Amino acid sequence: MQTEVVFETHSWSEDNERGVATGWLPGRLSARGRELAAELGRRRRTDGISAVFTSDLRRAVETAEIALSGTTVPLLHDWRLRECDYGERNGSPARELHEQRSRYLDRPYPGGESWRQAVRRVGRFLDDLPTRWAGRRILVIGHVATRWGLDHRIDGVRLEDLVDADFAWREGWEYRLTDPPGPSSS
């Protein structure tokens, strides 16, 4: 049985506008971000979504609340869908942080986690998903680490290839999760 996973990033935040890598800080949507969240809602409200899983960081929760306002679709917050924890570098300039991203593929950021640890965390979410949502279509709202977790676990993309690639934002990514998912080995 396959579970359809639709992934959308959280909407544009005030930190995005300022060029800040928010990491595990909550963040808030900008005016533009609130408009984009409403657009996400228009795209997904009639898309057969059974549930929305969102990172528990404020910018992702706010995206989901705006997008699905007034619907009966359950909104479930899960900390495992958070961005990579940049530790002491949460809130630092994004350009500086992302230039050195590959250094932290396996080595944790000071006081934080590595990208591989963040992707494993998303993998544990995927392991639990079929327990209640097998065969359904769900929406996941998260961050770069969330998408990398989906790309790696479901599509088999190597983290070494993801860490240096441009994020290349778009209106949603779709995945087919064969239940149960593959082993959480990386």
Q: How far is CA 63 from the centre of its chain?
A: 12
Q: What is the pTM assigned to this prediction?
A: 0.93
- Among residues 2, 8, 9, which one has the least CA distance to residue 154? 2
- For the stretch 131-177, pLDDT in tens is 999 999 999 999 999 999 999 999 999 999 999 887 777 789 999 99
- For the stretch 1-56, pLDDT in tens is 899 999 999 999 999 999 999 999 999 999 999 999 999 999 998 999 999 999 99
Residues with active-site annotation: 10, 83
* pLDDT value at residue 113: 98
Q: Say if residue 185's pLDDT is above 50.
A: no
Q: How far is CA 169 from the centre of its chain?
A: 12
For the chain, domains (ranges, CATH) are: 2-178 (3.40.50.1240)
Averaged over 95-124, what is the pLDDT? 96
Averaged over 63-82, what is the pLDDT? 97
Averaged over 58-66, what is the pLDDT? 97
Edge-to-edge strand ranges of the sheet holding 137-142: 75-77, 51-54, 137-142, 2-9, 173-178
The answer to whether 115 and 172 have CB atoms below 8 angstroms apart is no
